[in-house]
Amino acid sequence: MSADSLSADPLGADPLGVDPLGPDALDDTSDGEVTDDGPEPEEMFASGPEVEVELRPQRRLRIWQLAPIVALAATGSLMFAFPLAFDFGDSGAVIAMLGLLICSCAAGWGMMAARRVGYTWPGLPQRGSGRRPDWRVVLAYVVVVAAVAVLAVWRVARLR
């Protein structure tokens, strides 16, 4: 080895003669100025006006949410209706009450699933809106549910 080869800087030499910045280097214009990256504003919207697109899917009940609710409601309704329609003896009242319970659970499950995706009962404010529900609407819902429950229990009690 000669002294010349040891004194030469191996890192400073460009053996291939390529631009040191590589393909990501800034483009030079003919007069030595640097250009901006990206298209001009006129070029960006040449196809028409800008359109906003919602990236999140719409919140709605899916089939996998509805299927168990509908199946439980149908089973509970049949368990409630058959003992009332066809006298099954002493066990008819128990089966009817169990059917009423299953049907009520399916209704509650359905209401909770609907509330989770943002649906509300007619007359009640949207969840998170900050508005208070009208007491007359709430009272009407309570009266209707209580009347249905009293009629169902009274009908099952008449089986005995």
Q: Write the DSSP symbol of residue 132.
A: P
Contact (CB, 8 A) for 77 and 103: yes
**Model pTM?**
0.49
- 136 — pLDDT class (breaks 50, 70, 90): very high
109 pLDDT higher than 60: yes
Q: Which amino acid is at 1?
A: M
114 pLDDT higher than 80: yes
Number of neighbours of residue 137 by Cβ within 10 angstroms: 14
Q: What is the CA radius of gyration of the chain?
A: 37
- pLDDT value of residue 124: 84
Looking at per-residue pLDDT, the higher value among 134 and 93 belongs to 134
For all residues of the chain together, what is the average pLDDT?
Answer: 75
At 66, list the tokens.
Answer: 């509805």
Which pLDDT tens digit goes with each residue over 64-103?
Answer: 878 888 898 888 888 888 877 776 677 777 888 888 888 8
At 53, list the tokens.
Answer: 């697109």
- pLDDT value of residue 7: 54
- pLDDT value of residue 139: 95
17 pLDDT higher than 60: no
